[in-house]
Structure 1
């Protein structure tokens, strides 16, 4: 399969914004441009970027995956002055003192299903890819409620949706990968969208390191520590297949339904990403 070009949006104030449009599904459809955008933090948007987001892109809803600590540290961004709906949905425990920047020195929140106790005991450290995949599994195990709310916010928004965290790569990448997978986007295209952040990773790293809220988290890390290798997303999706089955009704789809995601939600997400003529049968 020929992978689609990444639809970058070069907007002053952000460094990692792109459109989820143009992704092929296994049934031969393609995701709509302009329906869902993903990005890094929105705190530094100048007025002209705010106007483009609201007036040109038609954004009505913002899914903010940052923690309360991050939001307090950075304060309200310029979009808060607009008549938009904000869904503030941390993927960590509500009272956790977290700033959402994965670090290979962190403790693992979970383990991949193929790792038995002996493997864990014999290995002193995970690879970067394994660490990140475990970290993302932690989002699902710690905050399944907010993962579901984030996907419902995307599905049911009246206009375009902007999904973001601090860097626009880990939390944002996980939520976007689950949305794309649920509507039947081919796995290689899902992985390629996640991996695309590496094209902007130096800019992402510099922006975080120069932001007071995240400067301490970035101290001692390198650009390589913050990369998003394609294998990470393959591991995450494979782990869900391993846990919930790898057929059309397994993996991400099965996990979502165990949390209460229903056919109305699925139909709404299909309409959002694929258009009015696409039904939930798309990924069957």
Structure 2
């Protein structure tokens, strides 16, 4: 997908005796610089919904450019606080994800619910790494996808971000936040152990990731429907 950042289908992941369906749930980073070939290719996926996890400022700075045939856009700004504030506070990925889990539970449920309601669906943010990574991981966990596969899908992101993109962003951020210790990790990394820690934290506090979502309002019938639409039995 020329111009797309970190675009992929999450089909083919093991889920107990089943596997996630292809062509149902997609994830991505920014879609502001797509060329005509990529726009046509994404238009051909039959997307009925795009879930945009960015705040208003980010969306204005990099508006999504898709074919008119792509369905509705649902806005779920996932961070409480601006992206810049996390660099200013020099948060680690561990800290950032803990913040998301603790402060944005109703919004995370809204993302999962948006996937349940309408497919095919694309979930995206700016890099497709943190907000998209956590919300897609929770969606997959609620659908019964194997934990190792969830962690591997999250960790795959780092290999999809180009070295040139990473160099350019890190250099710019260093000029703005010269003393930030966690800057490069926050901007470019998706280490497997960080996502495994998120899932372990949810098990310790709630019993499981899906119980965390239940505690924040996701209904059992929605979980059943998510598993029906996202997982095919083998």
User: Same-fold call, TM > 0.5?
Assistant: yes
SS at match of 1:191: helix
Task: Report the Cα distance in structure 1 between the residues aligned to 2:25 and 2:145, rounded to whole angstroms.
Answer: 14
TM-score of the aligned structures, taking structure 1 as reference length: 0.72
SS at match of 1:78: coil
**Correspondence 1:86 to 2:78:** no
**Correspondence 1:274 to 2:231:** yes
**Deviation (angstroms), 1:236:** 0.6
**Correspondence 1:12 to 2:2:** yes
**Deviation (angstroms), 1:151:** 0.6
**Correspondences of 1:135-284 after superposition (within 5 Å):** 135-157=96-118, 159-201=119-161, 202=163, 204-206=165-167, 208=169, 215-216=172-173, 219=176, 220=178, 221-222=183-184, 226-245=188-207, 251-275=208-232
1:208 and 1:218 in contact (8 A); partners too: no
For the pair shown, which has the larger CA radius of gyration, 1 or 2? 1
Unaligned regions of 5+ residues in structure 1, if any? Answer: 1-10, 109-130, 246-250, 279-284
Deviations along 1:114-154, whole A, 9 cap, x unmatched? xxxxxxxxxxxxxxxxx313311211222222111111111
Task: Report the Cα distance in structure 2 between the residues aligned to 1:254 and 1:218, rounded to whole angstroms.
Answer: 42
SS at match of 1:185: coil
RMSD over aligned CA atoms reads 2.6
Q: How many residues align?
A: 228
- Counterpart for residue 46 of structure 2: 58
1:40 and 1:167 in contact (8 A); partners too: yes
**Correspondence 1:36 to 2:10:** no
Task: Report the Cα distance in structure 2 between the residues aligned to 1:85 and 1:14, rounded to whole angstroms.
Answer: 19
TM-score of the aligned structures, taking structure 2 as reference length: 0.87
1:136 and 1:174 in contact (8 A); partners too: yes
